């Protein structure tokens, strides 16, 4: 790759510090006001002593960076949704069964896990800008291998590189947007863009194979998308390690004590994250969530072909319907639910509604009705991921210094779930049939609800103090 000479950017850090006299520091270390008391998400990001909230215009490149992150999210969704529509064609192309084809998800998960294990060294070594560039380069390697249509083991290796790239990018983009003043709204945009990409992808993939074009040429589109993403992210995040530094610091004195020179070393931060039980509760939550989401998106088409006798030329569009519902849910509900109920209650409500619609998909025999219900289930499945990320960065839950590592661990678990459970569905389907996708989804969502209830009710604590009763702890 040819080197690109970039203009020198004057960092925004001095300008931020110059605003100290404008900030009232009388009660700088008091708990931040809850965003759900005033009906907006602006207050959900704590204001540090002498540092105003990060906005789309401060530092100056933040608008460009935000747009670049959203476009990257669209491309990731475009990539992740493709296997669901292409799965029957991949099986035919290589003459392999459900269990073997599921190895693409396993390879992808291994990539995420490797990134999680190395996260504590990658970020300090490369910084944001180069980490995001490397993320796109690794994805380009994946698409170059997959688009060749070569031997299946090489395709699986390609998905491993895709897991590496996505793991690097997910943590960096989510943490950047979660530090913004309008974090709930911006997280809904990036995850909505993911859903939009995932909605369009099966439509294009189905059209490609219906036109008698080999399935693997579809990935040439993604190769081009990620080349553009790589350039866009590299340029927009120039100077980010300097001008975003004020918002990387913990806002409370307690956290500042934790983050001495010794404690901020990469290894100690990893240990801190791993010793925090909240990390594990959130990680297993996303493990079950992404497992259920990817399993449903990946196997619903095969289920409809096997048990509802759907038309093979059109059933691929049902996967788009699921992702389309997911997109609508993320755009419409991610910002609305915290205002009406709070994040904790919002996640519980949409999780229970998701279970309800999947149960209906299981028991109703009409292929048209199931297709509609799958879309409705997607609406309520969608908000859980961005709400979970927003909850993770809520003040008092996870220390700010370990948020990048914690979210990287969570995404690794999420991808592992997104690989393991579609793989398990494939194994069981060999003997029992693909109807097992329905009870697997319901079981995983039930486990999610239990884990969510085990998390501290930090929203109630911020508004009313420590919960006294069991009901207050749960709701």
Report the pLDDT averaged over residues 292-297.
Answer: 89
Compute the distance between CA of residue 57 and CA of residue 19 in angstroms, rounded to an integer.
15
What is the residue range of 212's domain?
Answer: 54-239
For residue 411, being part of any structural domain is answered with: yes
Residue 33 has pLDDT above 70, yes or no: no
Among 2-6, 34-38, 119-123, 307-311, whose mean pLDDT is lowest? Answer: 34-38
- Give the model's pLDDT for residue 200: 92
Domain end among 217, 239, 261: 239
Tokens for 203, please give them: 């439509």
Co-location of 234 and 380 in the same domain: no
Q: CA nearest 214: which of 86, 312, 108, 104? A: 86
| 183 plus 84 within the same structural domain | yes
pLDDT for res 431 = 82
Asked if 226 and 364 sit in the same domain, the reply is: no
Most confidently predicted of 248-262, 297-311, 370-384: 370-384
CATH code for the domain in which residue 215 is found: 1.20.1250.20
Does the predicted model carry a pTM greater than 0.85?
A: no
Q: For residue 345, give Cα distances in angstroms to 40, 46, 390, 450, 455.
A: 16, 21, 13, 13, 12
Evaluate if residue 30 carries a pLDDT over 50: no
How many separate helices (H) and strands (E) can be counted in the chain? 20, 0
* The pLDDT of residue 89 is above 80: yes
Cβ burial 67-91 (10 Å sphere, 16+ → b, else e):
ebbbbbbbbbbbbbbbbbbbbbbbe
Angstrom distance (rounded) from CA 261 to CA 162: 34
Most confident of 116-125, 342-351, 454-463: 342-351
181 and 324 in a single domain? The answer is no
Answer whether residue 2 is part of any domain.
no
Q: Is the pLDDT of residue 50 over 90?
A: no
Query: Sign of torsion, CA 115 120 124 125?
Result: negative
215 with 284, same domain: the answer is: no
Identify whether residues 71 and 200 lie together within a single domain.
yes
pLDDT over 80 at 251, yes or no: no
**Residue 3 falls within a domain, yes or no?**
no
Residues 313 and 169 in one domain: no
Query: Measuring CA to CA, how many Å separate 25 from each of 21, 46, 47?
Result: 9, 13, 10
pLDDT at 28: 34
Structure tokens at 308: 């509802």
Which pLDDT tens digit goes with each residue over 255-268? 444 444 444 566 77
Burial class (CB in 10 A: 0-12, 13-18, 19+), 364: middle
455-473 mean pLDDT: 66
Q: Is residue 250 part of a domain?
A: no
What's the pLDDT score for residue 250? 53
Q: For residues 48 and 29, what is the distance between their CA atoms, to the nearest angstrom?
A: 8
Q: Which residue has the higher pLDDT, 458 or 233?
A: 233
Judge if 305 and 432 occupy the same domain: yes
Q: Confidence band (pLDDT; 50, 70, 90) for 386?
A: confident
Question: Would residue 400 count as lying in a domain?
Answer: yes
What are 54's strand-pairing partners?
A: 180
CA distance 169 to 140: 13
Residue 282, pLDDT > 60, answer: yes
Question: With contact defined as beta carbons under 8 Å apart, do 366 and 419 qualify?
Answer: no
Phi-psi region at 77: left, alpha or beta (left = phi > 0; alpha = psi -120 to 50): alpha
255 occurs within a structural domain: no
Dihedral pair phi/psi, residue 233, rounded to 5°: -70, -40
My answer on whether 80 and 222 are in the same domain is yes
**pLDDT of 38 over the 80 cut:** no
**Is the domain of 277 the same as that of 411?**
yes
Boundary (domain end) residue, out of 239, 257, 281: 239
pLDDT of residue 258: 45
In the numeric block, which tokens belong to residue 417? 């779930």
Q: What is the rounded distance in angstroms from the CA atom of residue 195 to the CA atom of residue 199?
A: 6
Mean pLDDT of 109-131: 83
User: Which of left, alpha, beta for 331 (phi over 0: left; psi -120 to 50: alpha)?
Assistant: alpha
Burial classification of residue 125, based on how many CB atoms lie within 10 Å of its CB (0-12 exposed, 13-18 middle, 19 or more buried): exposed
Residues 339 and 234 in one domain: no
- pLDDT higher at 310 or 441: 441
Clarify whether residues 226 and 273 are in a common domain: no
What's the total number of domains in the chain? 2
Does 471 score more than 80 pLDDT? Answer: no
- Which pLDDT value is given to residue 164? 92
Q: Is 432 part of a structural domain of the chain?
A: yes
Q: Is the pLDDT assigned to residue 23 strictly greater than 60?
A: no
Start-to-end CA span in the chain (Å): 53
Domain boundary among 198, 221, 239: 239
SS3 label, residue 54: strand
Averaged pLDDT for residues 273-296: 91
User: 259 in a domain, yes or no?
Assistant: no
């Amino acid at each position: 790759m040819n080197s690109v000479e970039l203009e020198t950017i004057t960092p925004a850090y001095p300008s931020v510090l110059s605003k100290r006299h404008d900030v009232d520091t009388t009660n700088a270390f008091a708990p931040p006001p809850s965003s759900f008391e005033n009906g907006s998400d602006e207050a959900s990001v704590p204001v540090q002593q002498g540092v105003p909230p990060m906005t789309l215009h401060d530092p100056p490149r933040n608008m460009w960076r935000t747009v670049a992150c959203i476009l990257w999210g669209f491309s990731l969704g475009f990539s992740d949704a493709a296997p669901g529509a292409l799965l029957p064609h991949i099986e035919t192309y290589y003459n392999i069964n459900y269990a073997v084809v599921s190895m693409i998800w396993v390879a992808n998960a291994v990539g995420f896990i490797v990134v999680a294990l190395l996260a504590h060294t990658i970020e300090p070594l490369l910084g944001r800008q180069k980490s995001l560039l490397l993320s796109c380069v690794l994805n380009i390697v994946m698409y170059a291998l997959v688009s060749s249509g070569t031997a299946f083991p090489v395709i699986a290796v390609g998905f491993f590189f895709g897991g590496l790239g996505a793991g690097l990018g997910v943590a960096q983009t989510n943490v950047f947007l979660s530090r913004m003043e309008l974090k709930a709204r911006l997280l809904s945009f990036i995850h909505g863009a993911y859903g939009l990409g995932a909605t369009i992808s099966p439509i294009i993939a189905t059209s490609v194979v219906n036109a008698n074009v080999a399935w693997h040429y579809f990935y040439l589109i993604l190769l081009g998308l990620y080349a553009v993403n790589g350039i866009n992210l590299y340029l927009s995040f120039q100077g980010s390690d300097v001008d975003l530094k004020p918002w990387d610091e913990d806002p409370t004195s307690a956290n500042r004590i934790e983050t001495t020179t010794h404690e901020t070393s990469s290894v100690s931060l990893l240990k801190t994250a791993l010793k925090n039980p909240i990390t594990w509760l959130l990680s297993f939550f996303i493990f079950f969530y992404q497992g259920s989401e990817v399993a449903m998106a990946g196997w619903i088409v095969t289920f409809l072909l096997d048990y509802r006798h759907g038309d093979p030329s059109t059933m691929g569009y049902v996967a788009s319907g699921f992702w389309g519902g997911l997109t609508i849910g993320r755009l419409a509900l991610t910002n609305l639910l915290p205002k009406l109920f709070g994040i904790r209650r919002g996640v519980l409500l949409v999780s229970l509604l998701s279970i309800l619609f999947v149960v209906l998909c299981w028991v109703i025999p009409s292929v048209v009705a199931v297709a509609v219900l799958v879309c409705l289930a997607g609406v309520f499945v969608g908000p859980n991921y961005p709400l979970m990320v927003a909850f993770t960065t809520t003040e008092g839950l996870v220390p700010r210094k370990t948020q990048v590592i914690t979210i990287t661990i969570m995404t690794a678990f999420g991808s592992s779930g997104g690989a393991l459970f579609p793989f398990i569905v494939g194994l069981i389907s060999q003997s029992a049939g693909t109807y097992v996708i329905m009870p697997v989804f319901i079981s995983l969502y039930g486990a999610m609800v239990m884990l969510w209830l085990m998390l501290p009710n930090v929203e109630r604590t911020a508004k009313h103090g420590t919960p006294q009763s069991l009901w207050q702890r749960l709701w």
